[in-house]
Amino acid sequence: MDQALLDLFNAQAQDAGPMGVLRPSPFELSDLLKTWSGPRPLRVCSGGTSSLAAAQNQWTLDLRPQLNRIVWQSTDHAVWVGGGCRMRDVLQALLPYGQSIPTGLSGMPGLGYVLTGGMGPRSRALGLAIDHLLDIRGVWGNGEEFWLQRHRDGDSAEWRGLCGAAPFLAVVSEVRLLTHPRIPLWVEQCRLPSDALPDWMQEAEASDPSICLQWHWGDADRLDILRVYAQDPGSSKIGRIDGLDQLPALVVPRPGAGRVHSEVVGLLGPAGAAGWKERMPLLRDCMDRRPHSSCSLSGQQLGGATSLVPSDHTSFHHRDAVWKPWITAGWVAGDLAMRQRSLQWLEELWSVLQPLCPGVHLAQLHDHLPFHQRELEQAFGGWLPGLKALKQKVDPAGNLPPL
């Protein structure tokens, strides 16, 4: 197997059996897309965490080897980030300057984390990652180069499209992001009975935006809690870290778990801890019937600064969202029967959560799965026709994943 595929973070992408890997420089991207006549769509790998960083009988554009520039600008406290950079590398590059960007729970994702919205433990205080974009450079699906700037192009359909739906429209070679001072954080971690979830969510909904709750429901009756504070809560049981670059894992992988493939669907919904409490019996029933131990339900808190940007300014449509739960369906690699059961389980759990979380956050692409169109409709709402019109304009041949 090509070493580039072995380096892909996601096991499913490693095992996909793609036709090959392309590693274009910024100067080769335009001609590559203009003249592409191979299988469509092309798959893009910026960090390798997406299940479709590579796919059967398709080609992967691996941006990591050549599009990995990180340049700090002291004049305006902004940073240029190449399309092949992982978020952990950006955080490390900013350490000497005492700056940071609002990354997520893991440093492994690439620039796709930003371009699909970007939420993490500092989102309630600082907003989504897309809200920090100042410049976006790259190549549309049709091969035409672009350089958009928020101060000039922020009201355009193109800017709106790229901020949350870029993987369908363009290959982004570089962005410029506003940074923030790196500050100490306080981290609370514990394990609780699953019945405690609604009470923790209710407390979180009333909390200050400097506090953010994350949780993971993996075992049938246990929760892993990660609560992050931007101010010292004054408890000896809560540890201090120097910044997001030191954030502990929400869940520590179990040793000997074997090779697992997975798909993840992210949902979005408003405050509603009482509704979660009513649905706990149904949720618990689903968790009791997990086809594999890697099947799980996790959640992350939004609100605060994420709600301040009007919903029609970016492709992140659900600005009223206070919770992002995500469902992970996992199965033993190669076990197609278990794959089918796990994906069916995902849809059953999704249906239980639908009244509470009617929106979708498209952090992964699923055009190979039957609910792709449903995801698009619930992610982009009334903006979807505009996105499709933009797609037809900038990627008429369908070089990139379909809308």
pLDDT value of residue 143: 97
pLDDT value of residue 177: 98
Q: HEC profile for 56-102?
A: CCCEEEECCCCCCCEEEECCCCEEEEECCCCHHHHHHHHHHHCEECC
Model pLDDT for residues 44-81, shown as the tens digit of each residue: 999 878 888 888 889 999 999 999 999 999 999 999 99
How far is residue 297's CA from residue 214's CA, in Å, rounded to a whole number? 11
pLDDT value of residue 219: 86
Does position 257 have pLDDT exceeding 90, yes or no?
Answer: no
Q: How many other β-carbons are positioned within 10 Å of the β-carbon of residue 374?
A: 15
Whether the full predicted model's pTM is greater than 0.85, yes or no, is yes
Q: Are 104 and 116 in contact (CB under 8 A)?
A: no
The residue whose two tokens read 């954080």 is 185
**Which pLDDT band holds residue 237 (cuts at 50, 70, 90)?**
confident
- Compute the mean pLDDT over every residue in the chain, rounded to the nearest whole number: 94
Q: Tell me, what amino acid is at 309?
A: V
Does position 1 have pLDDT exceeding 50, yes or no?
Answer: no
Burial per residue of 41-57, b for 16 or more beta-carbon CB atoms within 10 angstroms, e otherwise: bbbbbbbbbbbbbbbee
4-13, 54-63, 103-112, 392-401: least confidently modelled range: 4-13
Does position 7 have pLDDT exceeding 70, yes or no?
Answer: no
What percentage of the chain exceeds 70 in pLDDT? 97
- What's the average model confidence in pLDDT over 137-156? 98
DSSP secondary structure letter of residue 261: E
Structure token digits, residue 339: 């794959």
Report which of 181, 169, 126, 141 is spatially closest to residue 30, judged by C-alpha positions: 141
Q: HEC profile for 327-352?
A: EEEEEECCCHHHHHHHHHHHHHHHHH
pLDDT value of residue 287: 96
Adjacency order of strands within the sheet including 59-62: 20-22, 59-62, 43-45
Model pLDDT for residues 265-312, shown as the tens digit of each residue: 999 999 999 999 999 999 999 999 999 999 999 999 999 999 999 999
Q: HEC profile for 160-207?
A: HHHHHHHHHCEEEEEEEEECEECCCEEEEEEEEEHHHHHHHHHHHHCC
Does position 386 have pLDDT exceeding 50, yes or no?
Answer: yes
In which element (H, E) is residue 265 found?
strand 260-268
Does position 108 have pLDDT exceeding 70, yes or no?
Answer: yes
**Which pLDDT band holds residue 178 (cuts at 50, 70, 90)?**
very high
Torsion-angle region of 138 (φ positive above 0: left; ψ -120 to 50: alpha; else: beta): left
Residue 167 CA from chain centroid, whole number: 12
- What's the average model confidence in pLDDT over 81-96? 97
Rg of the chain over Cα atoms, rounded to whole angstroms, equals 20
Does position 2 have pLDDT exceeding 90, yes or no?
Answer: no
pLDDT value of residue 252: 75
pLDDT value of residue 175: 98
Does position 332 have pLDDT exceeding 60, yes or no?
Answer: yes
Phi, psi for residue 127 in degrees, rounded to 5: 95, 180
Reduced to 3 states (helix: H, G, I; strand: E, B; else coil), residue 301 is strand
pLDDT value of residue 3: 55
Q: Are 13 and 109 in contact (CB under 8 A)?
A: no
- What's the average model confidence in pLDDT over 120-124? 97
How far is residue 120's CA from residue 87's CA, in Å, rounded to a whole number? 12
Does position 16 have pLDDT exceeding 90, yes or no?
Answer: no
